[in-house]
Structure 1
Amino acid sequence: MSPADPVRRPSSRHRVIEKLRSYPAWIQRALPVLGLALLLWVLEIIDLFLGGWLNQFGIQPLEPSGLPGILFAPLLHSGFGHLISNTVPLVVMGTMIAWLTRRWWLITAGIWLLGGLGTWLIGGIGTNHIGASVIVYGYAAFLVAYGILARRFTAILAAVAVVLLYGGIVWGFLPMNPRISWQGHLAGAAAGVLVAFADTKQARRDWRERREALGGG
């Protein structure tokens, strides 16, 4: 007789994946957003022990050596106050996008890269730009533009919620405080609108499909 095959127990990684798959869809869609927020906090805690050493890797406008900051800048913050001010709107609006579009990864990547490039182009020479606010402003602009373009009730409702909850962020476009990157805010918002327009075709297709489903034809 051949020996019985050993019983293979699922690895801890597989158990975690299976556990995540058991969550409702609306929770699963929010998990990547929460994961990004957690990464921001982990990096800020590490940077606390490094004495702010990581912050040198922000966006340094018009400097070739500052181009890598396009990737790193949204992950870095000047302190926990700065991080807290970005975390809540990042999670709230990021989750809205994840629920509305199911394309959170692509939308975030587009805002991240375009917003960072815009900051590199228009930011003041000799400055260093860090913080997830470029993403936050991109999310806000995307949601408002998406609500107009998609013409879906939920998208319009999300746009209205953004205006009511975060309408005050428009003051961030003004060069009132030299320690605040208004250029990053402006570039992030512009990126959000561009990404929304790029997504318009898919958004309108989604709207037509829902209308046809409701109309039965």
Structure 2
Amino acid sequence: MRFHEVNFFLKLAGALLLTVGAWFATDWRLGVPLALATLGFLRIAQVPGIKAYLKGAALLVLLVQASWVVNLMLQGQPALQALSMATGMSARLVTTTAAFFFVMETSTPGSILAASSAARLPPVATLVLSLTFGIIPMLRDDFERIADAQRARGMEIDDVGFLVRLRFALARGVPLLVQAIRMAHSISLSLSIHGFDMREKRTTWRKVGLMVEPRLPKAQDRLP
């Protein structure tokens, strides 16, 4: 299925419903299968960037498991109960992040703008949605480019221990923050140059329904 052409709000509603279901499934016996099913769907759908996401999800699970188990045991919880609660929380977080990862990776800024314009959303909401779901994948790509730059400068960030790899990953945060600030300034400047006005009503050339038309209609399509 061409998930990139599915209406953005339809995907967003699905992600929200899945997230709500995950957070109501407080028992890890329900949460873990739901998380695995969500990850399996991402794999079957061949969502771009799935390998990088799985690495991040594994790190998230490890950190949540360790921090929650230690914290709950310090509060007097039995080890098995602490482990089950930590597992349930990890499963809910994985399901939530996987659902919105799917939305981000299969939604282009253009399709978000088209769906928002067709829904007659206020310009502010349209701008926020398109920037939020459009910039995060761009920042992720910048994060990977910074890692490539580290490798090019001789930093061994692959065949090292987990703690060393984590330290190098955190070291990418500063240049990533600088890049994010530069990107925000560039977007702001571009909006000003092109005369973006919040008071103007906008339309879209795309046909928007359950699916969003991915291209301009051909000449023969426009003929009666």
Shorter-chain TM range is 0.3 to 0.5
TM-score, L = length of structure 1 = 0.32
Q: Tell which has more relative contact order, 1 or 2 (C-alpha 8 A, sep 6+).
A: 2
TM-score, L = length of structure 2 = 0.31
